[in-house]
Every structure is written in structure tokens, then in C-alpha cells.
């Protein structure tokens, strides 16, 4: 849940989840539909699918335990190098550094070398005797991440109170490296077309071509292009929306109609039985203002 999502957003979902599923085994028997319903609003729904798939593998193949080698952990659905290292150290207290943006920045400052110029795998390998000269790998990894977030911050690092300042090349150098800035995500324009009828129903389809919202029920949505005809449609609202790691500028159009394209179905906007992502709920709220 914490991949790309802040702790405060995750907490209510985590509580709801662990209340419903007390053990890995009980969760592994859940269906994708039920899992996604619990996840509703948290975004990045692929994580929920991967989590469910992983729970089944762990129960069936690993006696409900997390395996303890990097290779086995990394082979689980949705687990990359970062998560595998985090799990290895945080769960099993084994050597492994979860290299997130904070940790990379700390290392890069300590040696005063640009992140792009550092081969981090090699750097960790060369320094492993220093890093892992402890029985508390789990605390070490956690501390590194917290240190980057709280002390060696992206802007205005707290060098004056930093315990590492005597050995930090960034602090002691007159030629300090520039900290790598987060890449700005460019926003894209999308047109959303809502067929609605007098019964307060909206036409939805699961056949949308947007990878980040596939398998969800949505009105028609297309990347906005100048040559797409919007003539028969009335513009309801323009607004901005962030979804997963994307920034969207939405042009929301509507049309009262009793006819809808073949792959669409009518959905009552007052009912919430099927899985409706937050993105679609916001559309419902806007369109409901017409009634």
C-alpha cells in the first residue's frame, strides 16, 4: 500500500484490510473483486492484484511465510529490487538496502558525487563491510530512509545538527553537488464523454484504452486531440486530476441520450455496488449536479 502513497493515506485502508483479513491464509482465499472493493480509492490498483496473487503463492508454495532469499522474494508479483531489499532487511533482518530517493541522496551527498554518476549497486557492494557490520540491518535500513527524509532533506539539509557532518564531503566541500530534482510530471489533456439519461443513469464501459484504468467501469475517455469532434456534446466542467503517477486535465462533456454504444451499460449514479474508482466517482458528482 505504501508504494507511491503517503502513510497517512494508507492507514485507514490498512486498518480496514487487516480487520477483514486476519491472516495471510484468509486473505489468499479472497477474490479479486472483493480485494479491489476494499482497495477502492487508494489508487494504483495493480498493487491490490499483485498482493492477492502474492498471498496465494505464499500460502501454497511457502507455507504462508515470506521466503528469505532476494531471488525468491523478487519473483513474487509486483516486487522489484527496491521492495525485495526492503522486505529482506525489514522482515528478515538480512543485509539489503532499499534504495529509494532519500537513500540515494544521502549517499550522493556523503561522497559529494552526483546521483547520475554513481553506480549504487557497486557502491553498496564496495561498502558492505561498513554498512552491514551490525546485527540490526532492519533498523539500519529504516534509519537510512528516515535520515534522508528528516535530516538530509532534499532542500536545506540540517547539516549543523547532523552526526555525519565531520565525514560528509558535501558539508565539507566548497564545491557542493546540486541535488537531483524530482522529475516534473507533464499533464495531459483528456476528453471524457458521458451519456446520461433522465433516470440519473450514466453509460459506462470497461473497454477503455487507458492502461492505468483498465478493467474499471468508466465513461468514454480519450486523449484530447484537436480533430476529435465534440460538437454534439456539452462541456460540463474542466478540472485537473492526479491519478497514479499521471496528471490529467479533464474536459468533461455530457449528452442526454437513450442510445449508447454496444460495449456500454447503464449505471445508476446513486448505486455503489460495482467497483467504481475515485476518478469515476468524481465524474458522477459533477454529472449529478445536472439533475
Under rule CB under 6 A, residue 162 binds ligand SF4: yes
Residue with smaller CB distance to ligand SF4, 86 or 168 = 168
DSSP bridge pairs for 187: 247
Residue with smaller CB distance to ligand SF4, 27 or 170 = 170
Distance CA 194, CA 290 (A): 12
Distance CA 75, CA 269 (A): 41
Under rule CB under 6 A, residue 170 binds ligand SF4: yes
Under rule CB under 6 A, residue 159 binds ligand SF4: yes
Find out whether 241 and 184 touch, Cβ atoms under 8 Å: no
Under rule CB under 6 A, residue 151 binds ligand SF4: yes
Choices 75-83, 168-176, 236-244, 279-287; region in contact with ligand SF4 by CB under 6 A: 168-176
Under rule CB under 6 A, residue 164 binds ligand SF4: yes
Choices 21-29, 69-77, 84-92, 161-169; region in contact with ligand SF4 by CB under 6 A: 161-169
Residue with smaller CB distance to ligand SF4, 79 or 159 = 159
Under rule CB under 6 A, residue 168 binds ligand SF4: yes
| Shortest distance (Å) from residue 159 CB to ligand SF4 | 3
Q: What are the two backbone dihedrals, phi and then psi, of residue 242, each rounded to the nearest 5 degrees?
A: -100, 135
Distance CA 50, CA 277 (A): 18
Q: How far is CA 31 from CA 34, 66, 214, in A?
A: 5, 21, 18
Q: How many helices, marked H, and strands, marked E, lie in the chain?
A: 12, 6
Under rule CB under 6 A, residue 158 binds ligand SF4: yes
Of 27, 107, 123, 171, the one binding ligand SF4 by CB under 6 A:
171
| Shortest distance (Å) from residue 66 CB to ligand SF4 | 32
| Shortest distance (Å) from residue 85 CB to ligand SF4 | 21
- What element of type H or E holds 189? strand 187-197
Under rule CB under 6 A, residue 157 binds ligand SF4: yes
Look up residue 253 and give its DSSP letter: E
| Shortest distance (Å) from residue 181 CB to ligand SF4 | 16
Instruction: For residue 196, count other CB atoms closer than 10 A to its CB.
Output: 22
Under rule CB under 6 A, residue 152 binds ligand SF4: yes
Distance CA 135, CA 207 (A): 52
Site for ligand SF4 in 102-141 (CB under 6 A): 106, 109-110
Of 165, 205, 251, 286, the one binding ligand SF4 by CB under 6 A:
165
Q: How many residues bind ligand SF4 (CB under 6 A)?
A: 14
Under rule CB under 6 A, residue 238 binds ligand SF4: no
Cell numbers 460540463 correspond to what residue? 236
Q: 46-61 vs 32-39: helix axis angle to the nearest 10?
A: 130
Distance CA 181, CA 18 (A): 36
Choices 12-20, 43-51, 167-175, 186-194; region in contact with ligand SF4 by CB under 6 A: 167-175
Distance CA 278, CA 47 (A): 16
Q: CB within 8 A of 248, min separation 6: which ones?
A: 187, 188, 189, 190, 240, 241, 242
Kindly list the residues in this chain that would bind ligand SF4 in the complex (CB under 6 A).
106, 109-110, 151-152, 157-159, 162, 164-165, 168, 170-171
Amino acid at each position: 500500500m505504501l508504494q507511491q502513497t503517503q502513510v497517512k493515506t494508507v492507514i485507514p485502508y490498512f486498518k480496514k484490510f487487516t480487520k477483514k483479513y486476519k491472516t495471510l491464509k484468509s486473505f489468499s482465499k479472497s477474490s479479486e473483486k472483493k480485494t479491489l472493493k476494499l482497495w477502492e480509492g487508494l489508487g494504483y490498483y495493480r498493487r491490490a492484484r499483485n498482493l492477492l496473487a502474492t498471498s496465494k503463492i505464499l500460502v501454497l508454495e511457502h507455507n504462508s511465510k515470506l521466503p528469505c532469499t532476494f531471488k525468491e522474494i523478487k519473483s513474487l508479483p509486483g516486487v522489484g529490487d527496491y521492495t525485495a531489499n526492503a522486505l529482506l532487511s525489514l522482515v528478515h533482518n538480512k543485509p539489503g538496502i532499499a534504495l529509494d530517493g532519500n537513500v540515494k541522496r544521502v549517499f550522493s551527498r556523503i561522497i559529494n558525487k552526483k546521483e547520475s554518476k554513481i553506480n549504487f549497486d557497486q557502491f553498496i557492494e564496495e561498502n558492505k563491510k561498513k554498512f552491514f557490520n551490525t546485527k540490526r540491518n532492519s533498523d539500519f535500513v529504516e534509519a537510512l530512509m528516515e535520515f534522508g527524509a528528516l535530516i538530509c532533506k532534499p532542500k536545506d539539509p540540517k547539516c549543523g545538527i547532523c552526526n555525519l557532518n565531520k565525514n560528509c564531503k558535501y558539508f565539507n566541500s566548497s564545491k557542493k553537488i546540486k541535488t537531483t530534482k524530482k522529475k516534473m510530471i507533464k499533464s495531459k489533456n483528456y476528453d471524457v464523454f458521458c451519456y446520461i439519461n433522465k433516470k440519473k443513469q450514466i453509460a459506462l464501459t470497461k473497454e477503455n484504452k487507458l492502461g492505468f484504468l483498465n478493467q474499471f467501469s468508466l465513461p468514454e475517455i480519450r486523449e484530447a486531440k484537436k480533430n476529435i469532434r465534440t460538437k454534439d456534446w456539452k462541456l460540463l466542467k474542466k478540472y485537473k486530476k492526479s491519478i497514479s503517477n499521471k496528471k490529467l486535465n479533464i474536459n468533461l462533456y455530457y449528452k442526454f441520450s437513450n442510445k449508447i454504444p454496444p460495449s456500454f451499460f447503464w449505471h445508476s449514479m446513486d448505486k455503489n455496488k460495482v467497483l467504481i474508482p475515485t476518478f469515476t466517482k468524481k465524474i458522477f458528482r459533477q454529472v449529478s449536479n445536472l439533475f
